[in-house]
């Protein structure tokens, strides 16, 4: 009988022990930990139901909800953790592996949890560990970018927490299940927005190109796979069928591709591509039919495969040349043939070319749109698919590996295929992209709903070849218009980045002036007044209060001195006291009798 | 040195001719495959529908993105460092 083993514990335990593992064992250990986590996920896939439960106060926390949806996401997350760790195997700094594993552990925690309390815990674990993958780039912009990323995700976390608390107040339940989307309440929107921010739903998306373009070469491989797809999982679990998501998804698909077409930075292009591709998944979840959910999940899985491969390919360029801008690269196929070939497989995969990954998933979402009579959404997604072929299938490989060589002599001399472990990881990624493309049966059997979808119909095949071929023709004719320029394209982040600067200006100028004026006012008027009051208080204390207290004390002391004489023990004083007392009594008695 | 072996013009021409021939072949192939579930009237009746769709969509997307860039999206690389207000320069 199998037992549920939480892969999060394996990754966290592995991260905790890593600093003590040294020498030749370290490489084996780095591979063993994510492989163990993957094995645990495979073992868990044999189980079903709510496992690993814990009663805390009045709530039941579920750490191991195993069903088809959680299993397929856990499998792909664990698999990409293995690949990304293999890709960064030669990274010597333990902290980078620890941050990456903690991040993946958080994602697996979210995927397996069955309640909002533990979801929030793992959600924040993801945010606070992934920021280190940006900071570890150690570039001139890394620190600022990381802080922006952290602030945005903290805001998203607070929105999510507000939704969770309001929901608990309203329904008295923390279970992480499908919400009542027919009658959405404020908490429904807040939870959806919290998830949506991590899914990079426009206009809450700017953190993604900002952060992923700035991450370390291996950190970006984890980042591109985990945050947005974990959010897609959460949306599929809680918000499936919310029609507004169709609108959000289509906007994402179109918005991302415009920026990707213009972008000059190879990794920012891929980041914009994530916004666009996650748009397909969000739209699929919004459509909400079985085919659409299956399509969204299948696309999330293959997206993780090809996007991690593409980030590995561009990461190899960054690793060897130190450059990421098209305007400083080009013609690299001659110096990086293996990287070029493997990255091309990623490009074919995202372009949905037959026999490659997205061919078997993207058409499911678009087909589901037509089937659900959401024709406008399906046509716009089809339109966006042309954009995907343009920016990722053609522009990226053409201007990076072929086209005009814009490398400086230094860049050109440094360019070369990366170390063996990086190439092996890329080869595995490319092989998986091809395998899932030619034999999607395993993927389809693992989807949440049973499906008989067949992407290899003659019509779909010829349709796709036309889309690819004639988009390539348009690219060929217009390629000069798409030559990347060394400029930036402002986005929604302009608002908060300039808002931040405006805030800093407000602090440095009006607020600082007010602080100075207040200080001067205090020094000129308030301080002398306070000193006057203090001097008066001192005089009053010294002369009046102390005078009374000291005078009283002196009187008591003098009286005490006199009384002491009476207690000296001499017989003549005793007689004196007795006779004086007797005389006093006699006088009192006499006066009493007389009056 | 930045030297890349570029294919000869003749070889280049042959590759181009092959690709154009393949493109034409794909377009012709589309006439031989029947669509049992067209999503629009045009798709059902217009020959080479997806070829036109792809070509014109790509042209529209390239034009749209370039227009948006010129309309205000494009900014210098240091746009986030340009002072918003004159007094920012002092700080």
Chain A interface, best mutation among B61, B67, B73, B77, by max A CB count within 10 A:
B61
**Angstrom distance (rounded) from CA A361 to CA A367:** 10
For residue B80, the chain A residues in CB contact (below 8 A) are 488, 494, 497-498
What is the DSSP secondary-structure string of A69-86?
Answer: HHHHHHHHHHHHHHHHHH
pLDDT for the residue numbered B4: 57
Task: Give pLDDT tens digits for A392-443.
Answer: 999 999 999 998 899 999 999 999 999 999 999 999 999 999 999 999 999 9
Distance from CA of B40 to the nearest CA of A (A): 9
Q: What is the mean pLDDT of residues A68-90?
A: 96
What are the CA-CA distances from residue A281 to residues A194, A277, A445, A462, A484 (Å)? 17, 7, 19, 24, 28
pLDDT for the residue numbered B91: 44
pLDDT for the residue numbered B5: 55
For residue A334, the chain B residues in CB contact (below 8 A) are 4-5
pLDDT along chain B (91 residues), means of 10: 62 88 92 83 89 96 94 84 59 44
Task: Give pLDDT tens digits for A161-184.
Answer: 999 999 999 998 899 999 988 889
Helical H runs in A113-185? 116-135, 142-171
β-sheet bridge partners, residue A56? A59
The number of C-beta contacts closer than 8 angstroms across A and B is: 140
By CB atoms closer than 10 A (0-12, 13-18, 19+), residue A267 is buried
A463/B30 Cβ within 8 A: yes
Q: Which residues of B43-63 are buried (b: 16+ CB within 10 A; e: fewer)?
A: eeeeebbbbebbbebbbebbe
pLDDT for the residue numbered A140: 84
pLDDT for the residue numbered B88: 55
Share of chain A above pLDDT 70, in %: 100
pLDDT for the residue numbered A497: 79
Average pLDDT taken over every residue of chain A: 93
pLDDT at A330 over 50: yes
pLDDT for the residue numbered A337: 95
Task: Give pLDDT tens digits for A206-257.
Answer: 999 999 988 999 999 999 999 999 999 999 999 999 999 999 999 999 999 9
**Across the interface, which of B40, B72, B87 has its CB nearest the CB of A509?**
B87
Q: What is the mean pLDDT of residues A528-555?
A: 91
Q: Report helix, strand or coil for A174.
A: coil
Domain range summary for chain B, segments of one domain joined by +: 9-73
pLDDT at A295 over 50: yes
Q: Which residues of A143-178 are buried (b: 16+ CB within 10 A; e: fewer)?
A: eebbebbbebbeebbebbbbbbebbeeeeeebebee
The 3-class secondary structure across A558-588, one letter per residue, is HHHHHHHHHCCCCHHHHHHHHHHHHHHHHHH
Residue A525 DSSP symbol? I
B50/A470 Cβ within 8 A: yes
**Angstrom distance (rounded) from CA A78 to CA A8:** 10
For residue B36, the chain A residues in CB contact (below 8 A) are 459
pLDDT at A44 over 90: yes
A261/B84 Cβ within 8 A: no
By CB atoms closer than 10 A (0-12, 13-18, 19+), residue A451 is middle
Lowest model confidence (mean pLDDT) among A506-515, A547-556, A560-569:
A560-569
Q: Which of residues 381-410 of A touch B (CB under 8 A)?
A: 382-383, 386-387, 389-390, 405, 407, 409
Q: Report helix, strand or coil for B41.
A: helix
Q: What is the mean pLDDT of residues A475-490?
A: 91
Chain A residue nearest residue B43, CA to CA: A463
Q: What is the mean pLDDT of residues A557-564?
A: 84
- In which band, very low, low, confident or very high, does the pLDDT at A302 lie, cut at 50, 70 and 90? very high
**Angstrom distance (rounded) from CA A109 to CA A125:** 9
What are the CA-CA distances from residue A43 to residues A11, A50, A101, A104 (Å)? 16, 15, 20, 18
**ipTM of predicted assembly, 2 dp:** 0.88
Chain A interface, best mutation among B19, B58, B73, by max A CB count within 10 A:
B58
Domain range summary for chain A, segments of one domain joined by +: 1-239, 240-491, 497-591
Distance from CA of A471 to the nearest CA of B (A): 5
The 3-class secondary structure across A204-223, one letter per residue, is CCCHHHHHHCCCCCCHHHHH
> Strand pairing of B74-75 and A488-489?
antiparallel
């Amino acid at each position: 009988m199998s037992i549920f083993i939480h892969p999060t514990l394996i990754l966290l335990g592995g991260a905790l022990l890593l600093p003590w593992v040294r020498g030749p064992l370290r490489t084996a250990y780095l591979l063993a930990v994510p492989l163990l986590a993957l094995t645990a996920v495979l073992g868990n896939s044999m189980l079903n139901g709510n496992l690993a439960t814990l009663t805390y106060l009045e709530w039941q926390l579920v750490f191991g909800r195993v069903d088809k949806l959680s299993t397929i996401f856990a499998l792909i997350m664990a698999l990409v953790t293995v690949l990304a760790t293999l890709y960064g195997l030669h990274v010597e700094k333990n902290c980078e592996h620890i941050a990456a594993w903690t991040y993946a552990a958080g994602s697996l925690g979210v995927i397996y949890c069955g309640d909002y309390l533990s979801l929030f815990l793992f959600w924040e674990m993801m945010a606070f560990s992934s920021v280190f993958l940006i900071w570890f780039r150690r570039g001139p912009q890394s620190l600022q970018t990381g802080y922006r990323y952290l602030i945005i995700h903290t805001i998203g976390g607070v929105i999510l927490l507000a939704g969770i608390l309001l929901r608990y107040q309203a329904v008295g339940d923390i279970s992480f299940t499908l919400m009542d989307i027919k009658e959405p309440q404020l908490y429904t929107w807040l939870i959806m927005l919290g998830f949506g921010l991590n899914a990079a739903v426009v206009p809450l998306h700017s953190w993604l190109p900002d952060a992923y373009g700035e991450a370390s070469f291996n950190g970006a491989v984890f980042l591109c796979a985990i945050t947005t797809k974990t959010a897609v999982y959460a949306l599929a679990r809680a918000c499936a069928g919310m029609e507004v998501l169709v609108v959000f998804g289509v906007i994402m698909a179109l918005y991302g591709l415009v920026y990707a077409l213009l972008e000059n930075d190879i990794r920012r292009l891929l980041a914009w591509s994530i916004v666009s591709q996650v748009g397909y998944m969000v739209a699929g979840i919004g459509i909400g039919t079985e085919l659409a959910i299956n399509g969204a999940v299948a696309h999330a899985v293959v997206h993780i495969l090809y996007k991690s491969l593409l980030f590995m390919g561009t990461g190899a360029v960054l690793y060897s040349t130190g450059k990421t801008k098209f305007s400083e690269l080009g013609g690299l196929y001659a110096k990086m043939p293996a990287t070029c070939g493997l990255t091309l497989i990623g490009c074919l995969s995202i372009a949905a070319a037959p026999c490659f990954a997205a061919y078997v998933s993207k058409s499911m979402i678009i087909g589901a749109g037509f089937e659900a009579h959401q024709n406008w959404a399906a046509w716009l997604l089809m339109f966006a698919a042309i954009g995907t072929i343009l920016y990722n299938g053609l522009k990226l490989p053409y201007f990076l590996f072929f086209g005009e060589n814009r490398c400086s002599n230094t860049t050109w001399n440094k360019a070369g295929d990366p170390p063996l472990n990086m190439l092996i990881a890329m080869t595995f990624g490319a092989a998986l992209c091809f395998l899932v493309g030619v034999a999607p049966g395993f993927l389809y059997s693992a989807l949440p709903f049973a499906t008989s979808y067949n992407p290899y119909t003659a019509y779909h095949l010829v349709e796709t070849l036309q889309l690819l071929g004639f988009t390539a023709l348009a690219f060929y004719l217009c390629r000069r218009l798409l030559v990347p320029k060394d400029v930036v394209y402002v986005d929604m982040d302009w608002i908060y980045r300039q808002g931040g600067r405006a805030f800093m200006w407000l602090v440095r100028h009006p607020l600082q002036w007010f602080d100075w004026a207040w200080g001067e006012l205090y020094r000129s008027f308030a301080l002398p007044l306070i000193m006057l009051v203090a001097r008066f208080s001192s005089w009053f204390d010294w002369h009046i209060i102390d005078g009374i207290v000291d005078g009283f004390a002196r009187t008591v002391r003098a009286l005490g001195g006199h009384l002491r004489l009476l207690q000296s023990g001499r017989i003549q004083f005793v007689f004196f006291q007795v006779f004086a007392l007797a005389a006093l009594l006699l006088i009192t008695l006499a006066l009493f009798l007389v009056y | 040195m930045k030297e890349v072996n570029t294919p000869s013009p003749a070889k280049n021409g042959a590759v181009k001719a092959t690709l154009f021939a393949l493109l034409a072949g794909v377009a012709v192939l589309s006439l031989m495959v029947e669509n049992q579930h067209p999503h629009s009237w045009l798709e059902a009746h217009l020959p080479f529908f997806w070829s036109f769709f792809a070509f014109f969509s790509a042209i529209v997307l390239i034009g749209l993105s370039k227009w948006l860039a010129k309309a205000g999206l494009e900014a210098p690389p240091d746009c986030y460092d340009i002072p918003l207000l004159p007094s920012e320069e002092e700080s």
